[in-house]
Amino acid sequence: MELEGRIIKVMDTQSFDSGFSKREFVVNTFKENYPQDIKFEVYKEKCEALNAFQAGDEVKVEFNIRGNEYNGRYYVNLQAWKIEKSTGQAQDAQMPNFENIQKASPSLSDAPAEPDDLPF
């Protein structure tokens, strides 16, 4: 799955006795009608990769949804496996230039007049 938004918080790395480490970060989906704060996790060597990001960076996160049961309770984690900075220029480059389209398109006044055969 994929999500775009703005990082609002990057937490410290948590290390466990087993040698396992994880790091969490929160992304706000500010472009949506109802923005949400979504928490992601990264594991092991990806913890260091988060050092390149800080609060305020616009990012695209690719992730997997993981669920598990522990003592009769169910938990869901969003495991990020790829994170990259979003660039406004790249998004603008993909948008069509509507000004040129309007100039090249015929206007309604250029169309031949058709008889109005509607009954109302």
CATH number of the domain at 46, please: 2.40.50.140
Is residue 45 in some structural domain?
yes
Nearest to 37 by CA among 26, 21, 45: 26
75, part of any domain: yes
pTM over 0.85: no
pLDDT greater than 80 at residue 80: yes
Exposed / middle / buried, residue 38 (Cβ in 10 Å: 0-12, 13-18, 19+): middle
List the domain range (segments joined by +) for residue 49: 2-106
Is residue 51, in this structure, part of any structural domain at all?
yes
The answer to whether residue 28 is domain-embedded is yes
Triad 77, 83, 87: Cα angle to 5° = 135
Query: Is the CB of residue 27 less than 8 Å from the CB of residue 2?
Result: no
115 pLDDT band (50/70/90 cuts)?
A: low
Within a domain: 7: yes
Number of domains in the chain: 1
> β-strands 58-70, 2-10: how paired?
antiparallel
- Inside any domain, residue 74: yes
118 located within any domain: no
The verdict on residue 71 lying in a domain is yes
Share of the chain above pLDDT 90, in %: 65
**Mean pLDDT value of segment 42-59:** 93
